Amino acid sequence: MHAVMCAYNGVNGDPMCMSPMLSDVLENDFNFKTPSKPENYIVTDSGALSFMVSKFHKFNQSSDAAAAALVAGVDLNSGNVFKGLLNLFEHNDTRVSIGMVCFIFILSYD
């Protein structure tokens, strides 16, 4: 099992934890996240998702930052921002599926 942490930095003005480069580079260049390696995961630094709101000003709500990180390939949040995904799901946000929410909570409490 291997893990990669996305932190507070950004690329071309986008926080790394929401950048498509995150999973693209890991999957295509390093063969990191593939069906044959499901145990590998990407985790955020504790405040990285909150920084998307407070420092990068990409979102008004942390739940939107959580959804962007999830779409970018992040599996686990070291902080508590992923808890906002449940609220998005309950409000039928199309970025978040029941499978995503279950997967995140299983990883969080496993």
As averages over each run of 10 residues, the pLDDT of the chain (110 residues) reads 89 89 88 78 91 92 90 86 79 76 62
Residue 107 has what pLDDT? Answer: 60
Residue 87 has what pLDDT? Answer: 77
- Per DSSP, what are the bridge partners of residue 10? 15
Residue 6 has what pLDDT? Answer: 92
Token digits for 17? 């934890």
Residue 104 has what pLDDT? Answer: 65
Token digits for 99? 């499978």
Ranges of H-type helices in the chain: 20-30, 48-54, 62-72, 84-90, 98-109
Query: Which residues are designated catalytic?
Result: 45
Residue 45 has what pLDDT? Answer: 92
- Local structure of residue 80 (DSSP, 8 states): S
**pTM (2 d.p.):** 0.81
Look-up: residue for tokens 């029941």? 98
Residue 108 has what pLDDT? Answer: 59
